Amino acid sequence: IAFTAKSVKSFANLHIVSSEGGTARAASFLANSSSGNVSWSKNGKYILYGTTQRTENRVIARVDLVKQLPKFREEQIQKMFGDPMVPAPATPAPAANNKAQSGSDSLFKPTKKEKDTTTINWDDIGGRLNILPLGIDVSEFQISPDGNMLALISAVAGQRNIFTYSLDELSKEPSVLKQITTTPGSKTDLQFSPDGRDLYYSEQGRIQSVNLDSRQSKPVFATAAMDVDFDKEKLALFKQIWEVQNKGFYDPGFHGTDWGAVKKTYEPLVEGAATPEEFRRIISLMLGELNASHSGISGPQPSFTVGKLGLSFERDSYEKNQQLKVSHVLNMGPAEITGKIKAGDYLITVDGSPITAATNLDELLDNKIGKMVILGIATSPNGNPTNIAVRPINLNTEKDLVYEEWVKAQRKYVEKISKGRLGYVHMLDMTMESLNQLYLDLDVDNQSKEAVVVDVRNNNGGFVNGYAIDVLSRKGYLNMTDRGMPTVPARSQLGQRALDAPTILVTNQHSLSDAEDFTEGYRALKLGKVVGEPTAGWIIFTTSINFFDGTLVRLPYSRITDMNNKNMELNPRPVDIEVSNPLGLQNKDNQLDTAVQELLKQIDSGKK
């Protein structure tokens, strides 16, 4: 039996144990935190499994259980034709058998299958691991029934598609990755057909198949009806959700809560729930008894289909006169890129429908994402509108544009109050996308400043704090000089991200989770002062558990401690200089003002 498990420093590796019992032994020794999707080769001589370190591509590792001798096509040809100089062995005549003569044909009797055995050479088994040269991030994979083909799913250019890779050592063609599907839908649950000629998979909730030769996809028509007894279902869900926390919550003391008593309290409340929404509200209250961050419950999420124009409207004009007067045009939004709409204009019509007191603008823009919409725009509420064509964007894209506009304003603000001496970067969250954005934002302009203000206010976390800290903590130790060119730091010249300049960190009470880990790292490594408000104290490692009805429950399962072994959950990260921005403050930022003053003071004191 092969499986992955965690051992030293919680690195996840391949382990093997006899099906008859015994002690499991490690068969790989990679320093990766995540592994899985274990598959045996058809001949039982090697194992494939997926492995990765977070933020890196998930790769497929091959572990040879014995030393693999090379295979030669010439040997296959010799077996096909044989040696003409060697006579074929004589076939003995069948012995007389009374049972066979009575009509019982031994050819149709089931033959006794020999017991399968697997040989493992444990000497230097870790040295027989290699990574398949795929070059992409693999989410799942399957080996074909004949063992000669690997099918896998990978996201390339934002689309998850199916690829194949030959495992046949006797193939005439070199092993190269081949893309089998090209459709945009997310794909999961790969399965080969018994003959290995087709692949079945799920795409956006539908079963599909694709022929490996023609690469033609087609739907597999399947329907199913399910009767659900909600009164029974809700109780089954309740017990499962309670048990998930009972076995998996990171603190065996449940933050001082009697978790068994909580079950007795909430079970009769669940029995009275009349709808899934009521059920989830009750479960949310139950989870709240744990007084832990990163907890909660949610149901299936509806898609948001309303198009966004990148326009804001004056509140007073709407409330008093039911008119949509433009107060702001979002930079690079659908309205702004036309070059024809400005603050002070009025939105009069949408696709010919007039704007009145009874108009719901979202209804007019529903299902309009990416489609042409004609806006009637006038310079006065009663003016003759001009028709302007726009293409609405989705909500997330508009949010990204709002954020980018805000960051540019903050950067300009720091530039102004520091008289051009300081740079500015902000991290929206701690995802890989934000880390890549940090790399972009530490551009030539920021790199040329004397120091940089690092802002993680309203950052709701993620997992890349260590990588972001590395950028700020790396110090130069070599320089490089091309002939006739200025001397430059070797780190950046050789491609490593490093600021190598003084910084100051700005936080607030909405800096959450991994932003707090980042703050702790910044303080512990003494990279600079922290200014603003103490963080939220939401510091715990979590995962999501999906249930059969589409319910999702968060499970805080791993304790995060500082280097003094103090639990960081419910313990906000402190600041060196505490300063707040009062509600309603406009055209001024007390926290940035203080950060700039302190950083300039630090720079100037270092020059003396």
How far apart are alpha carbons 89 and 97 in whole angstroms?
Answer: 23
DSSP single-letter state for residue 308: B
What's the token pair of residue 422?
Answer: 């300081």
Domains and CATH numbers, the chain: 2-70+119-219 (2.120.10.30), 311-393 (2.30.42.10), 418-537+572-607 (3.90.226.10)
- Whether the CB-CB separation of 259 and 245 falls below 8 Å is answered with yes
Give the model's confidence band at 174: pLDDT under 50 very low, under 70 low, under 90 confident, else very high: confident
DSSP string, 569-584: TT-PPP-SEE----TT
Residue 86: its pLDDT value, please?
53
Residue 115: its pLDDT value, please?
57
DSSP string, 382-431: TS-PEEEEE--B-HHHHHHHHHHHHHHHHHHHHHHHTTT-EEEEE-S-BS
H/E segment holding residue 198: strand 198-203
Residue 252, beta-bridge partner list:
none
**Per-residue model confidence as pLDDT tens digits over 551-588:** 999 999 999 999 999 999 999 999 999 999 998 888 89
Residue 420: its pLDDT value, please?
96
SS3 assignment, position 437: helix
Phi then psi for 59, rounded to 5 degrees? -110, 170
If you average pLDDT over every residue of the chain, what do you get? Answer: 91
Residue 70: its pLDDT value, please?
72
Residue 160, beta-bridge partner list:
155
Question: Who's near 558: CB < 8 A, 6+ residues apart?
Answer: 250, 540, 541, 542
Q: 55: closest CA among 462, 370, 427?
A: 462
How far apart are alpha carbons 342 and 262 in whole angstroms?
Answer: 57
What's the token pair of residue 97?
Answer: 């058998």
Residue 196 has pLDDT above 70, yes or no: yes
Residue 85: its pLDDT value, please?
54
End-to-end CA distance of the chain: 68
Sheet with 187-192: strands ordered across: 187-192, 198-203, 206-211, 217-219
Residue 116: its pLDDT value, please?
62
Residue 107: its pLDDT value, please?
40
Global pTM reads 0.82
Residue 179 has pLDDT above 90, yes or no: yes
Residue 135: its pLDDT value, please?
92
SS3 assignment, position 353: strand
How far apart are alpha carbons 42 and 598 in whole angstroms?
Answer: 65
How far apart are alpha carbons 325 and 347 in whole angstroms?
Answer: 7
Residue 106 has pLDDT above 50, yes or no: no
Residue 189: its pLDDT value, please?
94
**Per-residue model confidence as pLDDT tens digits over 427-449:** 999 999 999 999 999 999 999 99
Higher-confidence residue of 457 and 73: namely: 457
Residue 105: its pLDDT value, please?
45
H/E segment holding residue 270: helix 259-271
Give the model's confidence band at 156: pLDDT under 50 very low, under 70 low, under 90 confident, else very high: confident
How far apart are alpha carbons 133 and 115 in whole angstroms?
Answer: 35
Q: How far is CA 216 from CA 109, 118, 181, 182, 203, in A?
A: 41, 38, 8, 10, 15
Strands 530-532 and 503-507: parallel
Residue tagged 């592994």 (tokens): 35
**Reduced 3-state DSSP string for 148-194:** CEEEEEEEECCEEEEEEEECCCCCCCCCCCEECCCCCCCEEEEEECC
Q: How far is CA 530 from CA 499, 527, 578, in A?
A: 18, 9, 9
DSSP single-letter state for residue 10: G
How far apart are alpha carbons 180 and 156 in whole angstroms?
Answer: 13
